[in-house]
Amino acid sequence: MAAYSPLIRRLLICSLTIVVSRAITSPLLTLFVSDKLGLNQQDVGLLLGIAVFVATLLSLYGGYVIDRFEKRRLLILAMLSSAVGLVLLTFAENLYLTTLTLIVTETASSLFLIGSKAILSDNLPVGQRAKAFSLSYTLSNIGYAVAPMLGVLIAGFFASAPFLIAAAVAFFSIFLMTGIAKDPGAAPLIGQTQSFLKTLVTLKNDRTLIMFTGGCLLSTVVHGRFTFYLSQYLLTTGNPKHTMETMAALLACNAISVVLLQYQIGRFLKREQLRYWIAGGTGLFIVGLIGFSLADSLVSWCVAMFIFTLGEMIIYPAEFLFVDTLAPEELRGSYYGAQNLAALGGALSPVICGFLLMHTPAPTMFYALSALTSMGGFLCFMSGRRVAIVQN
């Protein structure tokens, strides 16, 4: 990271600390809310799903706000909102206030993600953005590899402690972004910024963006929440002990692969070849999914997971780099906010896979997911082809 400016270095460190803040509580949130409110697991799942759904929709407006105001201050506001929301969760007693708090924390997370991408794009040359996106994703995976275990360990002493520690991490992350001089080149052009309604019309009329976001949504069904449907499948075909052992190995394989290879792969991504990279990543997803359907040992599961993870390492920075290529400079945040709607695919994934596991033979789920990611990859490829035609 030494090659980057102080702003970019601090932003990347903040990306890690914010992920740590979220990941510390991720394995505990369902149980914590269930105990606090006396809800069953189905109702808790519905509650969390509503929060994620609303926050994802609000991120569309969040992207517009990022285009209008200083991005650094909005990131500070997002970190502060996340810290306050995590503290309030420890006092969860009322269903409606808890839902509102979850929506605030999820929206703050989306705002930080969109804003950090926009700052990276604003402050880095075109040739360095893919590497920066990959480095950010690598740091995120380091956080997700370590923080959940710490959260579980800390919760053994005091149930609310992980949420208070997560809030403290989010709060002290603010100081990483303060003290940095405002970038005069990043000041928003308020007089030239169009209204939110006109921005929505602009986004709606960009057929390439709509096609690409639709393709990303279908792909996100496959890679956005893959841990959910893999555990669903393993529980359906085996016992809880086997599921825990296999999932532990798969998560370790995924995290180690990303940490070791993500940045190296990101170095080779080029704007002119993005549609071919996305097609390759989609192909790796399909091979990995078929591998899952045929896996009969821990080694075969891990091999399939490694192939699947290679696809993930290509798709993640390629999607962001594509939107960066597509977005006008004055609407970069809005375009990232629109593409963030693809996160709804992750919310749909457990529902789709649960239905398939209940009504079809278990391996059918992987073939259905292969079909979905094929459709998503095709839409993304055609979007890239449209951009290439326009540029030529």
Q: How far apart are the first and last CA of the chain?
A: 35
Least confident of 39-53, 243-257, 270-284: 39-53
Q: For the domain bounded by 194-392, which CATH number is listed?
A: 1.20.1250.20
Whether pLDDT at 211 is above 90: yes
* The predicted structure's pLDDT at residue 190: 45
**Cβ atoms of 220 and 347 closer than 8 Å:** no
* The predicted structure's pLDDT at residue 96: 87
Q: How far apart are CA 332 and CA 338, in angstroms?
A: 10
Q: Report the residue count for the chain.
A: 392
Whether pLDDT at 66 is above 60: yes
* The predicted structure's pLDDT at residue 189: 46
Q: Return the SS3 of 116.
A: helix
Compute the mean pLDDT over every residue in the chain, rounded to the nearest whole number.
84
Return the H-helix or E-strand segment holding 150: helix 126-155
DSSP state of 330: G
Model pTM greater than 0.85?
no
Domain segments of the chain as ranges? 1-192, 194-392
Whether pLDDT at 175 is above 60: yes
Tell me, yes or no, if the two domains 1-192 and 194-392 fold the same way.
yes
Closest CA to 261 of 303, 313, 209: 313
Q: Which CATH architecture has domain 1-192?
A: Up-down Bundle (1.20)
Count of CB atoms situated within 10 Å of the CB of 207: 10
**Cβ atoms of 311 and 290 closer than 8 Å:** no
DSSP state of 193: P
Whether pLDDT at 185 is above 60: no
